[in-house]
Structure 1
Amino acid sequence: MPVLVITGTGTEVGKTITTAAVAAVAVAAGRSVAVLKPAQTGVAPGEQGDAGEVARLSGAVTARELARYPEPLAPATAARRSGLPPVRPRAVAEAAAELAAGHDLVLVEGAGGLLVRFDEEGGTLADAARLLGAPVLVVASAGLGTLNTTELTARELRRQGLRTAGVVIGSWPAAADLASRCNLADLPVVAGAPLLGALPEGAGAHQPAGFRTAAPGWLAPRLGGTWDAQAFASAFAP
């Protein structure tokens, strides 16, 4: 099935904007795209969630949430505190499969990191990816500390028999420090997977038209873009 699961090495690493960039590139190539957010937390009824933000930036995509919880917590905790039903990995897989039947590409964006719990039984995004047999794209931060969280995520993916599609840096700083520049060489090593893009800091602040025009330059050809990892790393070589 044409499903790509997108996870982060933690919160606030640029996962939603990366999802929007992948969607924008696919839409520009003439593919029909759906984005699935299994559990949206910290957003009140009527407010725009992550799936809606992806749709706003990327264009004509189908946006779907399975559950929404008002408090900005892990999905299992938010569900318990709200008294609402939790999301189960099997429900995520079934929804993604349903969307895949009518779309060329389905992007499943997790909440936080790979092992954030959806329910009290410990179901996670990794479980949903395994049920789908889908590869997982890892969105990582640029600077100090990212090597540890990226390697931990990649090791867990391998342990669970899942394939790491690659790593995207979700927010490349305007003034990259030494650690960030060194990490361009080290991230693919610790992940055991290629570096497939780097989104500039503040990319989500672009107007939609500008975002869609720029997105191919942030992503490697494997994700439909034109970004060159070797040239990018050479330009920022320490």
Structure 2
Amino acid sequence: MGQAYFITGTGTDIGKTIVTSALYLSLQALGKSVTIFKPFQTGIIEESNTYPDISWFEQELGVKGSGFYTLEPETSPHLAIKLTGSQIDVKKVVERVHELEEMYDIVLVEGAGGLAVPLIERSDSFYMTKDFIRDCGMPAVFVSTCGLGAIHHVVTTHSYAQIHDICVKTIVYNHYRPEDRIQNDNIETIEKLTGLVGLACIPTLADVRKDLRSLTLDLLRDQDYTQQLKEVFKA
């Protein structure tokens, strides 16, 4: 039986889909059977009538059936559900994660936003992303930028994960500039404060479609990256 991992951001529009894609290609290169699952996708592209992340995974990576619940409003899932009157069965989503674990070595589950995002509003409470993670028994992988604000965002997200007994395996930094002294110090400070060991630093890609696979090849040439990738994902 395989294992599902939850890919979560420490902020909005932080690059979870790019990081998930790079991890998918990297793990495939190591000979593992991998899939991607996006259980809650909000925000439709009206011009093409498609959902961006699900469409990307299918068209660019060839991952079929990565979606589950799709909601047109570009809002938090709980509000999109209210606005559309959708009926959501969380048990079915959890069951789907476990079904995929039976079929693949590794399941990369991409979240909608961060750990504290509400998924469903109930009469007296919210079913939160952290509840879904725990119900599925998934460890988490953080995605963060490394510029100003990153220390606060990562440290508070990590503290929230600890409070709710979520195991955080590693962190991937996006939009990294190696010449930026602030970014390098932020990474060093984040890892001292949280104990997390960064898996990779990914630069801003000028053309994601063209550059993603070459980025993955560059990452795989780094022995530290491949070794830690094997350790984090038991690959």
TM bucket, shorter chain:
0.7 to 0.9
Fraction of identical pairs, as percent: 28
Aligned residue runs from structure 1 range 1-238, under 5 A: 1-44=2-45, 46-57=49-60, 59-86=61-88, 88=90, 90-121=91-122, 122-173=126-177, 176-202=179-205, 205-207=208-210, 210-218=211-219, 220-221=225-226, 222-224=228-230
Would the aligned equivalents of 1:86 and 1:118 in 2 still touch at CA under 8 Å? no
Which residue number corresponds to residue 234 of structure 1? none
Runs of 4+ displaced beyond 3 Å: 54-57, 59-63, 175-178, 216-219
Structure 2 length-normalised TM: 0.84
Q: Whole-Å Cα distance in 2 between the matches of residues 109 and 82 of structure 1?
A: 22
Residue 163 of structure 1: how far off its partner (Å): 0.8
Task: For structure 2, list consecutive stretches of 5 or more residues without a partner in the other structure.
Answer: none
Q: Whole-Å Cα distance in 2 between the matches of residues 177 and 53 of structure 1?
A: 30
CA RMSD of aligned residues (A): 2.3
Q: Whole-Å Cα distance in 1 between the matches of residues 77 and 198 of structure 2?
A: 29
* 1:60/1:54 CA distance change after superposition, 3 Å: closer
Which residue number corresponds to residue 229 of structure 1? none
My pick for the range that moved more, 67-76 or 45-54, is 45-54
* 1:43/1:224 CA distance change after superposition, 3 Å: farther
Task: For structure 1, list consecutive stretches of 5 or more residues without a partner in the other structure.
Answer: 226-238
| Residues paired across the two proteins, number | 220
Helix, strand or coil for the counterpart of 1:37? strand
Helix, strand or coil for the counterpart of 1:47? coil
* 1:131/1:216 CA distance change after superposition, 3 Å: farther
Structure 1 length-normalised TM: 0.83
Q: Whole-Å Cα distance in 2 between the matches of residues 6 and 116 of structure 1?
A: 13
